Amino acid sequence: MSLPGCPDKCGDVSIPYPFGVGDRCAAVGLNPYFNITCDDAARPPVPKLGDPGMQAEVIDITLERGEVRMNGFISYVCYTSNTSSTNATGQFVVGGTQLRVSPSRNQLTVIGCSTLGLTGGAYSGPGGRSEPDDDVYYATGCYTYCGSLNSTGADGAPCAGTGCCQVPITADLASVGARFPSNWVSSSWRFNPCFYAMIAEVGWYSFRRSHLVGVLGIVNDSNIMRRVPVVLDWAVRDGWCPATAEEKARRKYACVSGNSHCVNSSNGMGYTCSCLQGYEGNPYLEDGCQESKSNKNKFKFSSTALTS
C-alpha cells in the first residue's frame, strides 16, 4: 500500500510506504534512502535504491518483516600463473542509512579449491545513524579444499568445505563485503583458476562442479549472474520505540495507524511498525491497518452461534 496518489509498483515490484518512487511519495523525512528510483529504460521497469552511481536493483520489499531484498555482487580472483591474477570485489555500503545486512538471512559463501574467502565490515556508529567507525571492524571467513575437481562434492551437495564453504555473519554492520587475502595464491589454479566469494541469502546458492571449471566458469550459470539476493533489514533508526506521547510527537512517530504498534529492531538501534493482531495493511499510513477478513468472518460466526 503506497501513499495515496503515488505509484504502488515499479515494474513487477510492489513499493509500499514508507518507501516510494520519488521524494513526494517516500518518507524521506524518516530517511532519504526510502526514495526508490524507477528505471523506466528497462523492460519491465526496475526499482533501484542507493546513491547515484552505486544503486542496486530491488527485488522486493516487505513491511511485515522490515526487509528489502536486493541484488548483490560476486567477488572473484582468477589466476593464470602462481603470480598473475585479476580480481573484482563487490561490497554493500549502507552506513548512514536505515539499512543493515541481515545476519539471520544471509551468509558468506566461498566457492573454489584450496582457497580462503573473507567477509569484513564496519559496525554502525552511535545510534545507528552515523558513518561507521573504522576502528571497530569485523571479519570472518572460511577455507575450502579439494585436490581435484573429482574430489569435490556432487552437484547440490552442502557447502561444507569441499568445493565451497559457508559461514554466518554478525549483526549491526553498516558496511559488509566479500574478498580474498592479499597475495593469496592457491595450489589448485591449474584446474580451478577462479575463486568466488559472496554475501547471499541463506539457502539460495546450490553448488555445481561446473562453477569451478575454466576462467569465470560461474558466468555460464545465468541464475548466478542474474541475481545474487541479499536481505537487508530496514527500520526507523532515530532510537528505540517511543515510551511517551511527548516522545512520539518530538520524534515524528512512524506508526501512524490507530491499529498499529511499535516493534524494536533486532539488528541495530531502531524500530518498525506492525498492525495489531486481527488487522492487516500498512501501519505507516493513517487508517492503514484494517480488520482482516478472517477476523471479520470469525466474529460473524461467533455472533451467529450465540443467536442460534
Asked if 158 and 291 sit in the same domain, the reply is no
State what percent of residues in the chain have pLDDT above 70.
84
Q: Please enumerate in sequence order all residues whose Cβ is within 8 A of that of 244, keeping only pairs 6 or more positions apart, or say none.
A: none
Q: In what order do the strands lie in the sheet with 75-79?
A: 85-88, 75-79, 194-201, 106-111, 164-168
Asked if 294 and 221 sit in the same domain, the reply is no
Query: Which stretch of DSSP H or E encloses residue 299?
Result: helix 293-307
Distance of CA 129 to the CA centre of its chain: 18
Asked if 223 and 285 sit in the same domain, the reply is no
Asked if 202 and 57 sit in the same domain, the reply is no
Q: What average pLDDT does range 259-267 have in this prediction?
A: 94
Asked if 47 and 147 sit in the same domain, the reply is no
| Within a domain: 240 | no
Asked if 79 and 151 sit in the same domain, the reply is yes
What spatial distance separates the first Cα and last Cα of the chain, rounded to whole Å?
39
The 10s digit of each residue's pLDDT in 113-169 is 988 888 887 766 544 443 444 456 778 899 998 889 888 888 999 999 999 999 998
Asked if 134 and 259 sit in the same domain, the reply is no
| Within a domain: 4 | no
Q: Report in angstroms the alpha-carbon separations of 275 from 65, 238, 283, 297.
A: 12, 21, 6, 18
Asked if 48 and 78 sit in the same domain, the reply is no
3-state secondary structure of 179: strand
- pLDDT bucket at 19, cuts 50 / 70 / 90: very high
Q: What average pLDDT does range 20-43 have in this prediction?
A: 91
Q: How many domains does the chain have?
A: 3
Structural domain harbouring 263: 245-307
State which of 185, 207, 233 marks the end of a domain.
Answer: 233
What letter would DSSP give residue 113? S
| Within a domain: 229 | yes
One-letter identity of residue 284:
Y
Asked if 206 and 119 sit in the same domain, the reply is yes
Asked if 223 and 105 sit in the same domain, the reply is yes
| Within a domain: 1 | no
Position 232 pLDDT exceeds 80? yes
Asked if 50 and 87 sit in the same domain, the reply is no
| Within a domain: 66 | no
One-letter identity of residue 99:
L
Asked if 276 and 200 sit in the same domain, the reply is no
Q: Please enumerate in sequence order all residues whose Cβ is within 8 A of that of 220, keeping only pairs 6 or more positions apart, or say none.
A: 210
Q: Rg for the chain (alpha carbons), in Å? A: 23
State which of 174, 208, 233 marks the end of a domain.
Answer: 233
